[in-house]
Amino acid sequence: MKKKAAGVPAVMSSLKHISEELGIWQGIKVLNKMNQKDGFDCPGCAWPDPDGKRSSLGEYCENGAKAIAEEATKKRVTPDFFAQNSVESLSQKTDYFLGKAGRITHPMYLAEGESHYKQISWKEAFSIAAKHINKLNSPDEAVFYTSGRTSNEAAYAYQLFVRQLGTNNLPDCSNMCHESSGAGLSETLGIGKGSVTLEDLHEAELIVVMGQNPGTNHPRMLTALAECKKNGGSIVSVNPIPEAGNNVFINPQSPIQVIKGGTKLTDLYLQVRINGDVALLKAAQLLMLEAEKKHPGTVFDNDFIAQNTEGYDAYIKELESNDFAEAVAESGIPEDQIRSFAQLLIEKKKIIVCWAMGLTQHENGVQNIREVVNLLLAKGSIGKPGAGTCPVRGHSNVQGDRTMGIWEKPKEGFLAALDKRFSISTPREHGYDAVECIKAMAENKVKVFMAMGGNFISATPDSAYTGEAMQNCDLTIQVSTKLNRSHLVTGKEALIFPCLSRSEKDIQDSGQQFVSVENSMGIVHKSRGNFDPASEHLLSEPAIVAHLANAVFGDASTVDWKSMLENYDVIRDHIEATIQGFDNYNERVRKPAGFYLPNGARNGEFNTDSKKAKFTVNPIPRKKVKDGNFIMMTIRTHDQYNTTIYGMDDRYRGILNERRVVLMNKEDMLEKGFKNLEVVHLKSVFKDEERLANNFKVVEYNIAKGCIGTYFPETNVLVPIDSVAKGSNTPVSKFVEVEIIKA
Ligand SMILES: Nc1nc2c(c(=O)[nH]1)N[C@H]1C(S)=C(S)[C@@H](COP(=O)(O)OP(=O)(O)OC[C@H]3O[C@@H](n4cnc5c(=O)[nH]c(N)nc54)[C@H](O)[C@@H]3O)O[C@H]1N2
Ligand SMILES: Nc1nc2c(c(=O)[nH]1)N[C@H]1C(S)=C(S)[C@@H](COP(=O)(O)OP(=O)(O)OC[C@H]3O[C@@H](n4cnc5c(=O)[nH]c(N)nc54)[C@H](O)[C@@H]3O)O[C@H]1N2
Ligand SMILES: [Mo]
């Protein structure tokens, strides 16, 4: 198993991917523009860029380089490609093959009953879409999905179009991602976003990384962790597997570190059982409470609690009702390690908790986040420098899309502002989220499904069920840069709208445009493509929305779509007028490093109904699996971006050339009589339902006992559609009960 992340192999790997896709010199040119103040935002993750100096060697990581190689590839999916490959034959190919086929060059149409996509003009494409949309019995028969790469400008225009049409059916990838964070944080702290800045991470005395694999998914976060260490901070990582990046980090841009061997990051690794996090937090907080009682005022921040919070008594009462030994046992972590963890929590005053999918994709995902908040509130570790909440976002603009109104449950104030600004009457009834949308499709309630990016079919749970549901639609429309499975599992008719990528020049009537994005820490900044489009037939995402709106509403529209299309400054003016925090948007977004959006929790202001931060009661989840069954988490390899498969290796975990694997504890293997690389089948059991995925290789791995790990999206077929988080409806992708069957 790999103990070090990044370093020289990472540089080699980035260059390999880049040179394969675009040739070495073009590749280096592209990389040098990425995340620079005059360049484009990395299409990878949402980790922020430093406000001040940026590395002249490039602000990117290995996986950012892979993301851009994938998007700036020289390979093309042309009308000829579609003529040679039927939808049926393409659907037999792997996700890896589909992704590697290249950039889509022309609008394409799959007519009802046809076997092949055919080239179509944009005008015809919009008119087919408009015909379907205009003949719906109700706008609620259409659904408009968004993946988190879409820029603020495109997202705003898109939601406006959808609400002008008359529905709030705006599910997004967030529904499957950080929705539990948004729900848990809004309720307790009054804002659904994290509270910390990059500076805070540098200043923190203790950073707890829970349910996250930054070495792979947010590599630039390692630089911040290393900085924290340099300043004397401690890092604890809580994970069923010891992820490489959580251990030692070598900054590939620091030649000295490459030679010396890097910074040891994790001081304490806690091998939690899958979903043992609340139990761990309870055990640690019981020890904190004990220490506080012995030396009052030294552990908890009682002033902060008295002035800024409510619900403390109920929280303490529930905490004390837990049995320490039982909490320890439930967490799966040895008691002495929990005591070491608690000691750090007792001593340190500036604490940050970072988390990602390991906490959110659970039935009790919202409760996980609320318990993290309890811990931080007890320590007064919020609303001050070096402390706070850090949900580490996924897609590079997923947070911005939500700020722009991509949400099925919009707030009244926002809708009222849209109504006023555009003289429209937006609908008040909430729309479908991702899971509700799939169920509605299964019930034949959805006739048109449109996706602004993403790969809905592969990203959603219960692949077989979802695939059938999707085929009930009359028309599916995918706005995409690259080919994926969602182009192949379609409605009766299907359209592909090929679009510009982030790194490409976007020229409209008023000249070259830029867009803006919001990163994981609420900084809004500009992103401007520099390269020639992959094909002359591509449209930008805002242009696609404007043309579609024009085709649907014609002259009857009270919204002036043309002016927005001509100049994105106009879209930004609309944003400024309808969304808080965007004053002087057009001016401030042009500043080199952008600007911070207001964040109450960061300043110690809690915009909850009572204006207080809230302690909550979150009992230890006691969900058990049947004897002999396993708890399965579906995770990402080092060589993929969600459903885009860059390569077949998972280098940091030492797994090469195979994705259908089951990471399994040695003792569990012994008990089951499995040999390394033995082929098995997986059967998920949920209520009285069974789902099967065949032919996986068992790989002996240092993973918590009773737990197994498999890769997303191969095992999405095993994730039951009805297994969702309470309060966020997020599919439970990290806790799937499975039976492992010898092949
Ligand atoms: N290169 C690359 N970068 C990406 C992505 C990508 O696919 N590739 N995806 C982007 C997106 S959209 C997102 S949301 C993020 C995802 O970033 P992550 O959340 O880091 O991604 P996952 O692979 O889902 O990893 C979840 C981690 O949680 C651990 N885990 C699982 N269950 C539990 C649990 O019950 N408790 C605890 N404590 N840990 C658990 C797993 O072992 C794993 O380390 O990354 C973003 N960045
Ligand atoms: N089992 C399991 N399922 C999961 C997860 C898990 O951990 N386990 N994670 C969930 C999470 S966190 C997320 S965020 C979702 C991800 O769900 P999605 O966001 O829907 O999926 P992606 O794979 O990121 O989408 C990739 C596609 O986006 C398109 N694309 C790329 N760039 C652009 C662009 O600039 N514009 C446009 N229009 N299209 C573009 C390309 O065609 C590419 O094929 O998956 C979720 N599903
Ligand atoms: Mo995500």
Q: Are strands 351-355 and 206-210 parallel, antiparallel or unpaired?
A: parallel
Query: Which segment of 177-181, 392-396, 407-411 scores lowest on mean pLDDT?
Result: 392-396
User: Does the C-beta of 395 come closer than 6 Å to ligand 2?
Assistant: yes
- The answer for 727, left when phi > 0, alpha when psi is -120 to 50, beta otherwise, is left
In this structure, of 68-77, 404-413, 505-514, 606-615, the range with the lowest mean pLDDT score is: 68-77
Cα separation, 441 vs 471, whole angstroms: 8
Q: Is the dihedral of CA 583, 585, 587, 588 positive or negative?
A: positive
**Structure tokens belonging to residue 304:** 């902060």
| Distance, CA of 159 to chain centre | 20
Query: Measured from the CB, is residue 241 less than 6 Å from ligand 1?
Result: yes
Does the structure show a pLDDT above 60 at 58?
no
Kindly state if the Cβ of 717 falls inside 6 Å of ligand 2.
no
Q: What does the alpha-carbon distance between residue 488 and residue 176 come to, in Å, rounded to a whole number?
A: 22
Number of the ligand closest to the Cα of 517: 2
Pull the structure tokens for residue 370. Answer: 């609320």
Contacts of 381 (CB under 8 A, 6+ apart): 301, 349, 350, 351, 352, 375, 387, 388
- CB 618 less than 6 A from any atom of ligand 2: no
pLDDT bin (cut points 50, 70, 90) of residue 21 is: confident
Q: How far is the CA of 219 from the centre of ligand 3 (A)?
A: 15
Q: SS3 of 602, please?
A: helix
Instruction: Summarize the chain as % helix, strand, coil (round to 5).
Output: 40, 20, 40
**What is the mean pLDDT of the segment spanning 601-628?**
96
Q: How confident is the model at residue 262 (pLDDT cuts 50, 70, 90)?
A: low
CA of 483 to the centre of ligand 2 (A): 12
| This prediction's pTM | 0.95
| Residue nearest atom 35 in ligand 2 by C-alpha distance | 501
Determine if the peptide bond prior to 334 is cis (ω within 30°): no
Ligand 1 centroid – CA 29 distance (Å):
30
Q: Does ligand 1 come within 6 angstroms of the Cβ of 397?
A: no
Give the percent of the chain with pLDDT over 70: 92
Q: Is the pLDDT of residue 400 over 90?
A: yes
Q: Whose CA is nearest to atom 38 of ligand 2?
A: 453
Q: Which atom of ligand 1 is nearest to the CA of 707?
A: 32
Tokens of 69: 């190689």
Ligand 2: distance of its center to the CA of 283 in Å?
A: 36
Residue nearest to atom 10 of ligand 1 (CA): 394
CA of 460, nearest ligand number = 2
How deeply is 657 buried, as exposed, middle or buried, from its count of CB atoms within 10 A (0-12, 13-18, 19+)? exposed
What local confidence, expressed as pLDDT, does residue 45 receive? 75
Would the CB of 178 count as within 6 Å of ligand 2? no
Distance 642 CA to ligand 2 centre (A): 5
Q: Exposed, middle or buried by CB within 10 Å (0-12, 13-18, 19+), for 16?
A: middle
- Distance from the alpha carbon of residue 357 to the mean position of ligand 1, in angstroms: 5
Please tell me the residue having the least CA distance from ligand 2 atom 41.
482
Q: Is 147 in the pocket of ligand 2 (CB under 6 A)?
A: yes
Atom of ligand 1 minimally distant from the CA of 177: 14
Compute the distance from residue 356 Cα to the ligand 1 centre, in Å.
6
Report the nearest-CA residue for atom 45 of ligand 2: 459
The pLDDT of 492-505, averaged and rounded, is: 96
Q: How far is the CA of 179 from the centre of ligand 3 (A)?
A: 10
Task: Give the ligand whose atoms come closest to the C-alpha of residue 735.
Answer: 1
Confidence at residue 71, expressed as pLDDT on a 0 to 100 scale: 85
Contact 374 CB / ligand 2 (< 6 Å): no
| Ligand 1 pocket check for 187: Cβ under 6 Å | no
- The residue ranges of DSSP E strands in 338-467, in sequence order, are 351-355, 388-391, 448-452
Q: How far apart are CA 195 and CA 390, in angstroms?
A: 6
Kindly state if the Cβ of 454 falls inside 6 Å of ligand 1: no
150 lines ligand 1 (CB under 6 A): no
- State yes or no: cis peptide before 391, omega within 30 of 0: no
Q: Which domains does the chain have, with CATH numbers?
A: 4-71 (no CATH), 77-175+397-515+541-582 (3.40.50.740), 179-392 (3.40.228.10), 630-742 (2.40.40.20)
The radius of gyration of the chain from alpha carbons, rounded to an integer in Å, stands at: 25
**CB of 502 closer than 6 angstroms to any ligand 2 atom:** yes
- Give the closest residue (by CA) to ligand 1 atom 11: 394
Length of the chain: 743
pLDDT of residue 511: 97
pLDDT tens string 503-553: 999 999 999 999 999 999 999 999 999 999 999 999 999 999 999 999 999
Output the CA 43–ligand 3 centroid distance in Å. 13
Task: Please choose, from the candidates 482, 443, 479, the residue with its C-alpha nearest in 3D space to the C-alpha of residue 100.
Answer: 482
- Locate tokens 């070259």: which residue? 512
Residue nearest to atom 12 of ligand 1 (CA): 394
> CB of 394 closer than 6 A to ligand 2?
yes
The DSSP element (H or E) to which 565 belongs, if any, is helix 561-566
One-letter amino acid at 399 equals Q
Q: Is 63 in the pocket of ligand 1 (CB under 6 A)?
A: yes
Is the distance from the beta carbon of residue 280 to the nearest atom of ligand 1 less than 6 Å?
Answer: no
Between the CA of 405 and the centroid of ligand 2 the distance, in Å, is 19
Query: Facing residues of 286 across strands?
Result: none
pLDDT tens string 661-673: 999 999 999 999 9
Strands laid side by side in the 515-518 sheet: 515-518, 523-527, 595-596
Question: Tokens 């909550």 appear where?
Answer: 616
For residue 176, the ligand closest to its alpha carbon is 2
From the list 63, 238, 259, 68, the residue with the least C-alpha distance to 652 is 63
Q: Which residues contact 455 (CB under 8 A, 6 or more apart)?
A: 147, 484, 485, 486, 642, 643, 644
pLDDT band at 347, cuts 50/70/90?
A: very high
Is 2 a residue whose pLDDT tops 80?
no
The answer to whether the CB of 359 is under 6 A from ligand 2 is no
Q: Is 177 close to ligand 2, i.e. is its CB under 6 Å away?
A: yes
Q: Is the pLDDT of residue 57 over 70?
A: no
Is the CB of 481 inside a 6 Å radius of any atom of ligand 2?
A: yes
Ligand 1 site, residue 710, Cβ cutoff 6 A: no
- Could you tell me if the CB of 734 is within 6 A of ligand 1? yes
pLDDT band for position 28 (cuts 50, 70, 90): low
pLDDT at 411 over 80: yes
Helix spans in 604-730 (H): 666-672
Q: Is 177 touching ligand 1 by the criterion CB < 6 Å?
A: yes
Q: What ligand has the least distance to the C-alpha of 540?
A: 2
Q: Alpha-carbon distance 623 to 60, whole Å?
A: 41
Residue type, 79: P
Cα(357) to centroid(ligand 3), Å: 8
Residue 385 has pLDDT above 80, yes or no: yes
Q: Write out the two tokens for 7.
A: 């370093």
Task: Kindly indicate the confidence band of residue 420, based on its pLDDT and cuts at 50, 70 and 90.
Answer: very high
